[in-house]
Structures are given as structure tokens and as C-alpha cells.
Amino acid sequence: MNNQKFHLLVVDDEAFNREILAEMLSGAGYEVIQAADGEDAWEILNGGQYKFSTVLLDRMMPRLDGMALLARMKADSRFANLPVIFQTAIDQPQDIAEGIKAGAFYYLIKPVDERVLFAIVQSAIGFYKLTGTTVLPEVAEEIDLSRAIKCCEFRFRTLLEARSVAKALAGFYPEPKRAYFGILELLVNAVEHGNLSITYGEKTRLLQQGLWEREIGHRLHLPEYASRQVLVRVEGEQDRIRLEVLDEGDGFNWQDYMEISPERVFDPNGRGIAMSKMTSFDSLEYLDKGNHLVAIVNL
């Protein structure tokens, strides 16, 4: 496995735990940087010497604990979408749900299983490759375009096209960064679970095996999916922006995914819709069988 270009930051106040993780990850080809606590980690992140792809973070630490460091990262645009994997001895569902709601990508319970570790790190890096290097429209930071939009419509098929569409749409929202990740999550969901009919269980397995992107590419070329498109429509109204997303899939049981469930916190997927609802929109609802959604941002 050649992962030399990917830098990982391992943060733990127990030197033995850091060394174990560093040994496993270095053996798989990753470049591992270690930090003894949250303050050390923050200094390393601020220093800018390394471009990290993922942070593995202990939750319970002196000086600055994992939750506090995660909050700092989410509040800083440089690190807001850098995946954070908590590795902790705390296995209470309510504590894990708290971390997920705060923006953690995943939880690993100590002692960490090596195969699970590699699968989740690969999944986190895949997520960061899709979202982490996106530069949002700077003009929206200087000029509020939310009042200028009347109506626009996009059709797309692939995840890369979804990223481009999300980037374009975010520029019309009063808070582009807040809007972008929520829009992208919904568009990705429309491609993979909608048009390509990847089930929740299938995505969990694909992420754990590091095969998610490959399966997306494979299904895009299958005859039964090749012509399917996602329709996105955004309309500016007097006091709100209305986003509609329609896919050509069979729908899904969307009611189960509107909130973060403690029962699913150990899965590497299944939180995107709830996170979009919490962080990017004032309201979000699915219509009919679940292949049509409406998301609102009030102005």
C-alpha cells in the first residue's frame, strides 16, 4: 500500500498508544506526525508544515481534550472539513453521538483493530479528497448574492460533477461555507443511494474495504444506471432560498436518517442527511418515496 503522500496526525497523551498507532499506520505507508495533547496538536496544525489528510484524536487528554480541539478545528476554515477520527475508551452511545454531532468523522474504540483502522482511515481520506481541497467562491464573502438569485437548474451524474454543482450553488447563499457541505452531502446521497441504488449496508461494507469510489465508477457505466441524472433546482424567494434535489432512484426510508442515531454511530456512513439538516439548512424534508427533497435557508 503506497500512502506516502498522505500525512496523518495522531494525538494521544499516552505515548504507548501513539506509538502503536504510528507503527501500524507507518507500516501501511502513511506519514505519521505525533502530538502529546490537544495544545501540541493545535500548534502543529497552525504551523502549516504538513498538509494533513486525517486526524486521529484521543478524546480524554489534559490541557486541551479531544472535544475542545475538535471545536477549535470546526471553527477555523482551514481545518473545518479535515476528518477527525476519535479513538477512545469511552463506548457509551450518548457520548459517541455527542462527538458525531460535534463533527467527528468516526469513532474507534480502544484497543483499535488494525483492519478496522485502515478501512476507516481510507474512508476518511476518500471523504477529504472529495471535499477538502475545494475552494469556495470568494466573491460571495464580499457581496451577498442571495438576493440576486431567481432560479437556476443543474443536471449531473457523477460525484465530481456533484462537487462542482455544490460549489456553484454555495455562492448564492449568504454563508457559502455553511451551505456548501450540506448541499454536497445531499447531492452525493442522490447519486450513490438514489441513482446508483447503493444501499446503506453496501456503502458501509464498501467504505470498510476501501472500495467505495471504485464501486461508484463501476455502477456509473452499467446500462441500468448510465442514463440516470440528478436534477437540482434552486430558487430565490422574497425571504428564503429553496433547494430541490430529485434523483431517478427508487427512494429510501428517509425517516430513519433525519436524526443521528446512537445505534449507528459505529458505522462509517449514515450521518450526512442529519448533519446537513443541523448545520446547513433551516429546514429539510423528503417528499413522496424519498427521491425528492426540499431544503430551505431563511434570509
Q: Which amino acid is at 40?
A: D
Asked if the model's pLDDT at residue 145 lies above 70, the reply is no
* CB-side neighbour CA atoms (13 Å) of 115: 3
Domains of the chain, start order: 7-131 (3.40.50.2300), 139-298 (3.30.565.10)
Asked if the model's pLDDT at residue 156 lies above 90, the reply is yes
pLDDT digits (tens, 9 = 90+) for 177-221: 788 888 999 999 999 999 999 999 898 888 777 788 889 999 999
Work out the burial of residue 111: count CB atoms within 10 Å of its CB; fewer than 13 is exposed, 13-18 middle, 19 or more buried: exposed
Q: Are the C-beta atoms of residues 218 and 192 closer than 8 Å to each other?
A: no
Sign of CA dihedral 68, 69, 73, 74: negative
Report pLDDT for 142.
Answer: 47
Q: Are the C-beta atoms of residues 34 and 15 closer than 8 Å to each other?
A: no
Report pLDDT for 21.
Answer: 94
By DSSP bridging, strand 151-156 and strand 230-236 are antiparallel
Q: Are the C-beta atoms of residues 127 and 163 closer than 8 Å to each other?
A: no
Higher-confidence position of 101 and 298: 298
Task: Give this prediction's pTM.
Answer: 0.76
Q: Are the C-beta atoms of residues 186 and 276 closer than 8 Å to each other?
A: yes
> DSSP strand E in the chain: where?
7-11, 31-35, 52-58, 84-88, 106-109, 151-156, 230-236, 240-246, 283-287, 292-298
